[in-house]
Amino acid sequence: YSLQQLKNIDRDMILHPQSTPKEVSTNGPSMIFSKGEGIRFTDMKGNTYIDGVSMLWNVNLGHGNKELAQASYDQMSEMAYGSQFYGNSNEPAIRLAEKIVDKAPGDLNSVFYTSGGSESNDSAFKFARFYWQLKGYENKKIIISLKWGYHGVTISTQRATGIKEFRAFSGSSDPYIYNAAPHLTAAEQGDRSHPDYENSIRGLIEKHGSNNVAAVIIEPIQGAGGVHIAPDGYLEAVKTLCEDNKVLFISDEVICGFGRTGKHFGVDHWGMVPDMITFAKGVTSGYFPLGGVILSDEIKKTIDTYDQDIPHGFTYSGHPTACAVGLKNLEIIDRDDLTAHAAEMGVRLQQGFDELEKKHSTFTHSRTVGLLGAFELMRDRENEVPFKNHENESIAGDFVNEGSKRGLLIRSFDYEEGMNILAVAPPIIITKEEIDEVLSILDDTLSFIEKKWLA
Ligand code: PLP
């Protein structure tokens, strides 16, 4: 097929996820990806880009990894699929569980498999509610999440997602899910005079009664909400609050897990042990769909007392090929010391951000934890004056377009007028020289954008 034929078929025959239907069904897809190698990929027009956000923060080992391809081939040749239903299992699922548990903090010693992040969080919500039922608390159903958190798109996880557009989509809703204001450390420590106290996790638990609250879910570093890092002391304060109120703490590590932040998991930056961790993306570097929930001994032991079938599980829970790819992926991360490498490259990225801040007056609020980074653009950063949108376009959106013309694809967050956040999260195999290349493109793009938007 010619490129145009492919575009036409796509335009007419595919409903795209997380896209604007009117736009894609008129113009067809903006890019058709064709090939990738390391931190770069090429589209069907032949344009090559640095993958500045690892596609959807998932291609952590970069593109074209032959060892992962081989692991998949080997497993498919041996036994492509075998289910975990009815108490059955397969070797890759077992060996991967051991590897994941080895990396997980504290007493998080068992794994439930899914195919992605939404399924993992949805499962964690069910396990939280089920756990409390088994403990004799029938009413503990409420899940509290944070504004700007992103937890997925199933009916429950979209409700937990603290971004307005997602919460409202299609009118579907789980009535037991509430959003709290993000990162109110003082309120979470009991400061009732805090203006957002009522909207804090603590305030919501008080309002609804701890007898009705099952769990809190938080990303240690919020990704899709705009790369917001939990302030020091915050996660620990929420954990204590949870313990005092018999509420479970779920850490959504779908982006943070497996080296991205320079540690195994995001919570490891604060030495915090949650009751459940949910994961996906980086577990296979995106080479195969896989996700899961890591459970504490207490939750696993409690569920293990149940002597009937639990009617929960996915056809692809513990998919052998997915798990074989996941296992090889984690082996490579360990062998090549890529978690420490991500930490080191993150420091270099932040140094580069600091240089850009000196050079460009609009560049501000840069932040990195390992290779999960972002910066913001402001008209007047000293007085926090944002850029207003121009002809419905944000400066952040324009920046992404201009960056891509210069060979770097990153991602913008402009959910509200004046919000202009840009995320940078390249594959964790990136070298120092490649980081410098990313920074140099950011520098050029900034020069161009400033001239245009400050004029
Ligand atoms: N949780 C977080 C933190 C995510 O970033 C995402 C996806 O971006 C999800 C959950 C949902 O994962 P999936 O798209 O695999 O369902």
pLDDT per position as a tens digit, 346-355: 999 999 999 9
14: in domain: no
Cβ–ligand 1 distance for 280 under 6 Å, the answer yes
* Residues of the domain holding 421: 31-64+338-454
Q: Encode pLDDT of 131-166 as tens digits.
A: 999 999 999 999 999 999 999 999 999 999 999 988
Cβ–ligand 1 distance for 117 under 6 Å, the answer yes
Q: Are residues 274 and 348 in the same domain?
A: no
Q: Are residues 280 and 308 in the same domain?
A: yes
Q: Are residues 367 and 446 in the same domain?
A: yes
**Mean pLDDT across the stretch 36-65?**
98
Residue 165: its pLDDT value, please? 86
Check which CATH number belongs to the domain holding 151 and give it. 3.40.640.10
Is 0.95 topped by the overall pTM?
yes
Rounded to the nearest angstrom, the distance between the alpha carbon of 58 and the centre of ligand 1 is 10
Rounded to the nearest angstrom, the distance between the alpha carbon of 284 and the centre of ligand 1 is 14
Q: Are residues 95 and 182 in the same domain?
A: yes
Cβ–ligand 1 distance for 219 under 6 Å, the answer yes
Q: Are residues 51 and 84 in the same domain?
A: no
Q: Are residues 309 and 398 in the same domain?
A: no
Mutation to probe ligand 1, out of 121, 150, 166 (largest number of atoms < 8 A from CB): 150
345: in domain: yes
Closest residue to atom 12 of ligand 1, CA basis: 117
With cut-offs at 50, 70 and 90, classify the pLDDT of residue 167.
confident
Q: Are residues 327 and 356 in the same domain?
A: no
User: Based on the structure, what is the number of domains in the chain?
Assistant: 2
Rounded to the nearest angstrom, the distance between the alpha carbon of 207 and the centre of ligand 1 is 29
Cβ–ligand 1 distance for 152 under 6 Å, the answer yes
With cut-offs at 50, 70 and 90, classify the pLDDT of residue 172.
confident
Last residue of a domain, one of 335, 358, 387: 335
Last residue of a domain, one of 287, 309, 335: 335
**Diameter of the chain measured on Cα atoms:** 70
Torsion angles phi and psi, residue 73, rounded to 5: -60, -45
Q: Are residues 107 and 133 in the same domain?
A: yes
Question: What's the ipTM?
Answer: 0.99
**End-to-end C-alpha distance for the chain, whole angstroms:** 45
Residue 148: its pLDDT value, please? 97
Rounded to the nearest angstrom, the distance between the alpha carbon of 354 and the centre of ligand 1 is 29
Check which CATH number belongs to the domain holding 417 and give it. 3.90.1150.10
11: in domain: no
Q: Are residues 88 and 221 in the same domain?
A: yes
Q: Are residues 376 and 311 in the same domain?
A: no
Cβ–ligand 1 distance for 289 under 6 Å, the answer no
153 CA closest ligand 1 atom index: 16
Cβ–ligand 1 distance for 252 under 6 Å, the answer yes
Residue 70: its pLDDT value, please? 98
Last residue of a domain, one of 335, 356, 387: 335
15: in domain: no
**Mean pLDDT across the stretch 232-247?**
97
251 has a pLDDT exceeding 90: yes
Rounded to the nearest angstrom, the distance between the alpha carbon of 415 and the centre of ligand 1 is 17
How much of the chain exceeds pLDDT 70, in percent? Answer: 100
How far is it, in rounded angstroms, from Cα 430 to Cα 425?
10
Residue 83: its pLDDT value, please? 94
253 CA closest ligand 1 atom index: 3
**Mean pLDDT across the stretch 190-210?**
97
165: in domain: yes
Cβ–ligand 1 distance for 255 under 6 Å, the answer yes
Cβ–ligand 1 distance for 254 under 6 Å, the answer yes
Residue 234: its pLDDT value, please? 97
Residue 197: its pLDDT value, please? 97
154 CA closest ligand 1 atom index: 16
366: in domain: yes
111 has a pLDDT exceeding 90: yes
**Mean pLDDT across the stretch 237-250?**
98
**Mean pLDDT across the stretch 415-436?**
98
384: in domain: yes
With cut-offs at 50, 70 and 90, classify the pLDDT of residue 171.
confident
Q: Which residues, listed in sequence order, are joined to residue 36 by a DSSP beta bridge?
A: 41
Q: Are residues 135 and 186 in the same domain?
A: yes
With cut-offs at 50, 70 and 90, classify the pLDDT of residue 365.
very high
Residue 28: its pLDDT value, please? 96
Q: Are residues 261 and 371 in the same domain?
A: no
Cβ–ligand 1 distance for 222 under 6 Å, the answer no
187 has a pLDDT exceeding 90: yes
168 has a pLDDT exceeding 90: no
Rounded to the nearest angstrom, the distance between the alpha carbon of 117 and the centre of ligand 1 is 4
Q: Encode pLDDT of 88-109 as tens digits.
A: 999 999 999 999 999 999 999 9
